[in-house]
Amino acid sequence: MAVIHRTTMQPTKLELLTAWLPTRPWYTGGADGPRPVRAGGFRLDDPEGEVGIEFMVVTDGTGPDAIAYQVPLTYRAAPLAGAEHALVGTSEHGVLGKRWVYDGAHDPVLVERLYALLDGRAEPQAQSTTDTPDPTVAVSPLAPAGAGADAEPVRVEEGPGHTDVVLREPGASEPLVLRLRRVLRTGDDGPAGGDRGRVTGEWQRPDGTTARGTYAAALTALTV
């Protein structure tokens, strides 16, 4: 169970994202740079209790032109070997000390937990409250289910508005793709056919209204 500490981080998560977002191929902001505002998300627990896992949503901009970005993040007490390219930055946590913050699409712990969520073996947790399920996150489970087995990450591919994590499932003839929506849109916007499961959730628009859409989808390789 992840414990949510009421403390500070220096630099803050939003300060880290302000510098990191413009380096991403799916970032669509202007020359003035991002001004990210926290807008929603959820957490997953690491059974080992070592890695913090957060699916953060931020909005950038104002009014109807504001864009919602999903940034899956992991928080570690030491560097993740071989993941230098995925480092968002480091921050000093008021309780836990120095934390290495990674783009979670490249962190095998987040990928395994997202797969477990889609397989019915994990439960979405509230972003800011310890040991509290988040009922606003809906999961359409994998079909067919993975029978409790873990999948092996093969590679990560960036696309327009999304990041694909290609997995090899035990006994499967075709790879499975976990598509993380980076630019969020309202409604079910996944591809037609081959959709084996999805995670949907809410976020807040700058005007205070609530939007809902797909955070992640499990796709067969034929739809990618």
Number of CB atoms found within 10 A of residue 128's CB: 11
- The mean of the pLDDT values for the chain is 88
> Is the predicted pLDDT of residue 146 greater than 90, yes or no?
no
Identify the residue with better confidence: 69 or 131: 69
- Label residue 42 by pLDDT band (50, 70, 90): very high
For 109-132, what is the mean pLDDT? 92
Q: Is the pTM of this model over 0.85?
A: yes
Q: CA 61, 62, 67: angle at the middle one, nearest 5?
A: 45
Range in 28-37, 71-80, 115-124, 155-164 with the lowest mean pLDDT: 28-37
Q: How far is CA 21 from the centre of its chain?
A: 14
Note the residue count of the chain: 224
> Is the predicted pLDDT of residue 26 greater than 80, yes or no?
yes
The identity of residue 158, as a single letter, is: E
> Is the predicted pLDDT of residue 191 greater than 70, yes or no?
no
Find out whether 58 and 36 touch, Cβ atoms under 8 Å: yes
pLDDT tens digits, 6-21? 567 789 999 999 999 9
3-state secondary structure of 221: helix
pLDDT (0 to 100) of residue 195 = 80
pLDDT tens digits, 67-108? 999 999 999 999 999 999 999 999 997 667 799 999 999 999
CA distance 223 to 221: 5
For 122-150, what is the mean pLDDT? 85
Beta bridge mates, 176: 167, 220
